[in-house]
Amino acid sequence: MPEYASTPRSVGFTVMCVLTLVGNVLLLLTNLVKVGLLETGIRQGGVGGEASVYLSLLLQLVLLSCVGALLGAGLMLAGKRPGYTIYAVSNVLHILLAVCAMLIWAMTIYFLFVSVLLFVYCLIPAGFLLYFHLHRDTLH
């Protein structure tokens, strides 16, 4: 069995992995509800044809980023280094998608406040990504 030059994982790292798993399960469920609401809005004519394509794509990519973050966090919890890479790519995708949503909300004067909330929301996954980046040496 090969020896790995990694430092022991802290309790904090394990807690962050578990929080990431719980948070992404909740995000996945929330975004599945959004997909259902969007589909209902499309069927009832409440969402324009061109907008529905982009909003559906945005939500599908968000779901993909949540699944990737779940997979990555699970692998990191098991001590696997590829989990960090999967998590990082998924997290960056999620942040970029949140920025896209922020720009969509900012284009309407009534929902400018929502875009500010999305900016604050982006700080959370960015903070988790920074934490895992700084502690990636604990993985093998």
Which residue's entry shows tokens 């696997």?
80
- Cα–Cα distances in angstroms (integers) from residue 131 to residues 54, 73, 122, in the given order: 32, 13, 14
Q: Which amino acid is at 137?
A: D
This model's pTM is above 0.95: no
Query: The tokens of 19 are what?
Result: 């929080």
CA gap 139, 60 in Å, rounded: 30
pLDDT tens digits, one per residue of 27-76 = 999 999 999 998 888 888 877 667 788 888 999 999 999 999 999 999 99
Which span out of 42-51, 87-96, 108-117, 118-127 was modeled with the highest average pLDDT? 87-96
